[in-house]
Amino acid sequence: MKIAIAGAGAIGCFLGSRLALSGRAEVSALARGETLAALRQNGFRLQTKEGSFSAPVAASDDASELGVQDVLIIAVKGPALPLLAPALRPLIGAQTVILPTMNGVPWWFCLVDGALGKVAPFALKSVDPHGTINECIPLQQTLGCVVHVGASCPEPGVVRHAMGLELIIGEACGGNSARMEAVTDVLTQAGLEIKPSANIRYDIWYKLWGNLTMNPVSAITGATIDRLLADPLVRSFCTTAMHEAALIGEQIGCHVTQQPEDRHVITAKLGAFKTSMLQDVEAGRRLELDSIVGAAHEMGRHLGLKTPYIDAILGLTRLFAMTHGLYTEVRRT
């Protein structure tokens, strides 16, 4: 199976190295700059508790050199995808399966016919401002994915795996399929724990339901998870925002029955954990704000729901990020 990784950051390198080491896939990577040079010289380099491993990869900054793939794994940061999407076209054939392994709500989340109950499908301009992603990446070939893996890149082309091996995978339009089973099989052979989902939209929304508060609030305060949840005022603020998000979920076919306090108990088990958004702040990387908070804000407005706490999180985090050069507001069409 030919599998290309678009975006050789922590998750991209982790999945690519696992797949290459399994011997079940011919793995290539679309990368640039220092990461491209490192992959060409050393291949993937994976650091785990069990030891360090390396695996070969065909790396290029030109998708046409890599050609049409059986599977395309998209592992870039959300803000990068609208610009990258046109460059991915040479990797996508009529049978290519596309697997985005990205944080937050994907561009197709509100475009699936019949999935939103009484709500007609609509495009998320916060995620795909000009419709470029939807134009370049066919929805009918796309799987949904939720990643439960902790990994980091101490240097280009090197990934350090900290915890988790689980990927939840499902058809964007729901149900099961032969192609989903094929992707599940090759990822399982690579040592990953794959959980098939008949309703991947719910799984995506459930993860966002927690990340919507913990990620941005940690980013603007610099606090780890344990400190956020130990502060009663912050905890209450996050709880109210989660209630707002739950109301949005009910309107779009993603009804969350769990209560925020119960989710806090689960989250607290992470201890002094730095969220991905806090790590991005510390590394000076652009924040994935639009696909996590911006999308929820946009959905609330589209549905006519009042979301003052979500709005406050978006406004404060956006202003913080813009002040520190970590966010550029995009003009929506």
SS3 content of the chain, % helix, strand, coil (to 5): 45, 20, 35
Predicted structure pTM score: 0.94
Query: Domains of the chain by range and CATH?
Result: 2-198 (3.40.50.720), 202-323 (1.10.1040.10)
Summarize pLDDT for 85-113 with one digit per residue, the tens: 999 999 999 999 999 999 999 999 999 98
- Whether 174 shows a pLDDT value over 90: the answer reads no
- Whether 332 shows a pLDDT value over 70: the answer reads no
Which residue numbers are catalytic? 207
- DSSP-derived pairing of the beta strands 158-171 and 44-48: parallel
Sequence-ordered list of residues with C-beta below 8 angstroms from that of 41, at least 6 positions apart, any chain = none
Distance CA 318, CA 329 (A): 9
Is the CB of residue 89 less than 8 Å from the CB of residue 67? no
Q: Which two tokens stand for residue 149?
A: 């893996």
Lowest mean pLDDT among 38-47, 212-221, 257-266, 270-279: 270-279
Is the CB of residue 91 less than 8 Å from the CB of residue 66? yes
Instruction: Average the pLDDT over 30-48 and give the result.
Output: 97
